[in-house]
């Protein structure tokens, strides 16, 4: 049986043709964007002006002065700089959203709302937009306003309690969960 698929088509990946806007920092949101880019999506990462994402500078392991985390989490992505605290940056994101299929964000809940970039407003611009929101404690509930990172999740979930040795402080798991 013959298929009408070229080698180039197969190399593009199953998410080829999908445009993702990634507004996040550190690991959780950018990891989602990396996976989508690995599968062929066009991922446009929005970074703060100046230093950009903290992952550009994070960690002790460096190559030619650059953090080794950055190429891991930024691979296959395009990046732009926009100050989301200002109207100009918010307007830029709205224009990008108009041409996007997916938004990935991992800000503390309420941050997008504070900037006028809440899901309801974004769906007016692009009704078919899929929004993935990654946060430590979810978007609603008693802890939703708390920031959360892997180490907090490990502790709150009890993993740190059962990890390690009784006569020593609880250790990290060695990799962000």
- Is there a domain that residue 158 lies in? yes
Per residue in 70-102, pLDDT (tens digit) is: 878 888 999 999 999 999 999 999 999 999 999
Same domain, 16 and 81: yes
Q: What is the mean pLDDT of residues 12-16?
A: 89
Same domain, 73 and 103: yes
pLDDT at 126: 98
Write out the residue range of the structural domain in which residue 127 sits: 7-137
Token representation of residue 29 = 């949101």
Whether 117 and 83 have beta carbons less than 8 Å apart is answered as no
What is the secondary structure of 160-175 as a DSSP string?
HHHSS-TTSPPPP-SS
Per residue in 15-72, pLDDT (tens digit) is: 999 999 999 888 888 889 999 999 999 999 999 898 878 777 777 777 777 787 787 8
pLDDT at 96: 98
- Is there a domain that residue 46 lies in? yes
> Which residue has better confidence, 26 or 113?
113
Q: Report the domain count for the chain.
A: 2
Same domain, 18 and 100: yes
The reported pTM is 0.81
Place of tokens 């960690």: 59
């Amino acid at each position: 049986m013959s298929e009408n698929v070229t080698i180039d088509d197969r190399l593009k990946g199953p998410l080829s043709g999908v445009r993702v806007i990634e507004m996040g920092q550190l690991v959780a949101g950018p990891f989602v964007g990396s996976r989508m880019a690995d599968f062929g999506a066009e991922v446009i990462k929005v970074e703060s002006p100046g230093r950009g994402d903290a992952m550009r500078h994070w960690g002790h392991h460096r190559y030619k002065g650059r953090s080794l985390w950055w190429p891991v989490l930024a691979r296959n992505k395009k990046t732009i700089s926009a100050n989301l605290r200002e109207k100009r940056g918010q307007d830029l994101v709205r224009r990008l959203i108009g041409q996007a299929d997916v938004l990935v964000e991992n800000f503390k809940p309420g941050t997008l709302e504070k900037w006028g970039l809440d899901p309801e407003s974004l769906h007016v611009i692009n009704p078919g937009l899929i929004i993935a929101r990654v946060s430590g404690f979810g978007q609603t509930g008693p802890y939703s306003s708390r920031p959360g990172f892997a180490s907090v999740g490990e502790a709150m979930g009890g993993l740190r309690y059962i990890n390690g040795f009784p006569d020593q402080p609880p250790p990290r798991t060695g990799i962000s969960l």
